[in-house]
Amino acid sequence: MKTFYSSKIYLMGISLLFLSVNASALDHSISFSAFGASTTIDSVKVQNLSKGMSVIVPNGSPLNLADAQTAVDKLNADMESVSIYPNPIQLSSALSFNSTKAGKAQISAYTMDGKKLLEFAGMLEEGRNSFQLSLPAGIYNIQITGNGYHYNAKAISQSLICSSPQLTVNGLSTTTHLQKEKTTGSPTIFYTAGDQLLFKAYSGKNVTVVTDKPTTSKTINFEFVECKDADNNNYGMVRIGDQIWMSENLKTTKYNDETVIPYVTDSTTWANNVKDAYCWYNYDITNKAVYGALYNWNCVGTTKLAPTGWHVAYDEEWTVMENYLIANGYNYDGTTTGNKIGKSLASSTLWQRDTRTDTIAGAVAHTLASNNSSGFSAVPGGCLYGGFYNQMGISTNWWTASLDDTGNAWSRDLFSLSTGTTRYSDSYSPGKSVRCVRYSGDSPHVIIVKPGSITSTSAVFDGNVVYEGSSAVVARGVCWSTTSGPTIALSTKTNDGSGSGSFVSTITGLTNATTYYIRAYVTNGSTTTYSLEQTFTTPLNDYAGNYSCVGYRIRPGNATEPVAAGTIEQFSALNSTTVQKNGFGNYTAFDVLIEVTTTTMIVGSTSCYKVNATPINPATSASVGGMFSTWTGDALTLPTPPVNPTEINYYNPVTKTFVLNCYYTSAAGNRIMYEVLTRK
């Protein structure tokens, strides 16, 4: 009685499931085409990222998208040609159908969530063909495709003892297990409106990825672009906005000029290396295929690391990609503000889950099945820091081709606990992954690589035309304004030649203490495009910077007073004795980091600016004394060194020296006044 009660409840559940699928119907057909480096498609792997299932679509075949209602409803019209008896199936049932012509035929059984459970393929004679069919308990869509005919039928199994599907024909038994990817003919995948599909197309050695949420029948047109490195590794690619990205990490052991990249396996060398180097994670080459190689930035800096026609992505190109995904709803919560695109970039496998990831909504490792809606396929390949490997399974780190204003290199990372990417700068020595990018189409593309020197009246910027487009570049440079959105219609622009590649733009005639908006531009034919907008602010004056202390002098006479009128003393060279005497520690040289503030005061009849100065050990960049404040002359009319120094410190624009008035307290408790001569 207890067993009967359990069976009754189970069968009622199947009936309810059958009734529930009648609420709506969906039936889309997706066909495929190709252009670019190849116009033929060998096969397409289709993943329903929302439901965690996949199928392989062979060359020349369409893909059927069907929800549960369609998977059952479409079958009724074929029931006269197809017979399943008895239906529901208890142990096994006879499956029979008419073959209108002799030839190859395929029989497949799909669960209602679109998973293929059984497949048969063989030659059938014209006329009636019969099989014995056994299926585990559930509701199924039976698809039959032959020479000039296609049938659908529904089957309900109430068997509680069948554990594996079986199809018997002419005394031969064909048993198959769950097949998520193998198929011939026209496969069907279960699809609900709004599901995210990932299409990965193969054509010879070329691979490209497209993601979509189809709302009707359509054709997916794949663009194939060759991405082959000097080792003849071929890489998949994915289009994100106007950019074409590699969909996997770089793994070349050679530069694109065939030069071999040094393979370094010593942790000490990695930690201190100033030359180019690469390795596999944990020095294990089996990590190459999935995770790619780890490179230090010196490899990136050669500009020869990327496959021909591609380049290592610049910091601005990462930002463009991130902005596109955010604006187009790829944040995990569907919003269009804030960087929450981590899941859309991360692969749906390999990321390690733990109790923390399961409690953070939108974390990369939370609900992996919903990852990779962009097709970027980021894998957690870890990194190499200080000569030690770490974080495989929980993070991925990529170099960019850009440097910050301190000379460090910009990077991106993605963690299992994070919801978005992180931008940071780093020294050249760590081992990190690399992604490359390129463009196609008619429009050119330009970026600002980094700002150079910025003074109170001028600025220098490095730009790069990374793609010419369909015609030659005739003009390039930067344009700027004190309001957002500068264009080449303004007179405030430079013209820095033509063609692709790097260029330098020098801007003059700026106003001090002013914020400017700047964009690089490029024109090919009649098309002009712009880089991302950046801002910069000119300093109040040109005092600020890092000064090296090159001499000092003690004021004679009364130690608490300036030097006597008419007295001109030479500055003594610094040495360990005098520097120690002056209270800055036992260093043979030291720097002074000078910050000119906007705080003003009147000293005598002169308007002065407050200066914060901090002694710095040049060897360690650490402070070797407390910050002290002093005053300097008017920034716009630089004072020359006075004969009789006062508490006003002076800057010599010719020698670029700054004199600071300082003091120290002697062992006897006296305040000893002295001056330090510094030079930029």
Domains and CATH numbers, the chain: 2-26+59-191 (2.60.40.1930), 247-437 (no CATH), 444-537 (2.60.40.10), 545-679 (no CATH)
Amino acid at 131: F
User: Cα 212 from chain centroid?
Assistant: 20
pLDDT tens digits for range 438-476: 998 899 999 998 888 888 889 999 999 999 999 999 999
**pLDDT at residue 610 in the model:** 53
Beta bridge partners of 218: 30
How far apart CA 516 and CA 101 sit, in angstroms, is 76
pLDDT tens digits for range 637-647: 323 333 233 33
**Section 281-294 average pLDDT:** 95
How far apart CA 139 and CA 110 sit, in angstroms, is 9
Whole-structure pTM value: 0.68
Kind plus residue range of the DSSP H or E element containing 139: strand 138-146
Please tell me the least confidently modeled range out of 13-22, 93-102, 320-329. 13-22
- The yes-or-no verdict on residue 281 having pLDDT over 80 is yes
**pLDDT at residue 164 in the model:** 81
- The yes-or-no verdict on residue 492 having pLDDT over 70 is yes
Closest by CA to 419, choosing from 344, 506, 515, is: 344
**Residue 366 neighbours by CB under 8 Å, 6+ apart:** 343, 353, 357, 358, 360
pLDDT tens digits for range 581-614: 333 333 334 444 545 455 555 545 555 455 555 5
The 3-state DSSP class for residue 15 equals helix
**Section 303-309 average pLDDT:** 96
**Residue 171 neighbours by CB under 8 Å, 6+ apart:** none
Give DSSP secondary structure letters for 48-112. ETTTTEEEEEETT--EEEE-HHHHHHTTGGGTTTEEEESSSBSS-EEEEEEESS-EEEEEEEEET
Best-predicted range by mean pLDDT among 54-68, 76-90, 294-308?
A: 294-308
Confidence band, pLDDT 50/70/90 cuts, at residue 128: confident
Closest by CA to 198, choosing from 344, 389, 100, 27, is: 344
